[in-house]
Amino acid sequence: MVYRMMMMMVIIIIVIIIINRGFFLTAIQDQVVVTRNYQKYILKQPDTDELCRRCGKESETIQHITAACEQLATTEYVKRHDGLAKLIH
Q: Of 60 and 6, which is predicted with more confidence? A: 60
What's the pLDDT at 21? 55
Q: Angle at which helices 76-88 and 2-20 pack, to 10 degrees?
A: 130
Q: Which domain holds residue 19?
A: 2-88
pLDDT digits 0-9 by tens, 16-74: 665 555 555 555 656 667 889 888 988 899 899 999 999 999 999 988 988 888 988 88
Q: Are the C-beta atoms of residues 29 and 62 closer than 8 Å to each other?
A: no
Q: Is pLDDT above 80 for 13?
A: no
Whether residue 42 contacts residue 55, with contact meaning beta carbons closer than 8 Å, is answered with: no
The total number of structural domains in the chain stands at 1
Predicted local confidence at residue 57, as pLDDT: 94
- Angle between helix 2-20 and helix 22-29 axes, rounded to 10 deg: 90
Q: Where would I find the H helices in 22-75? A: 22-29, 36-41, 62-67, 70-73
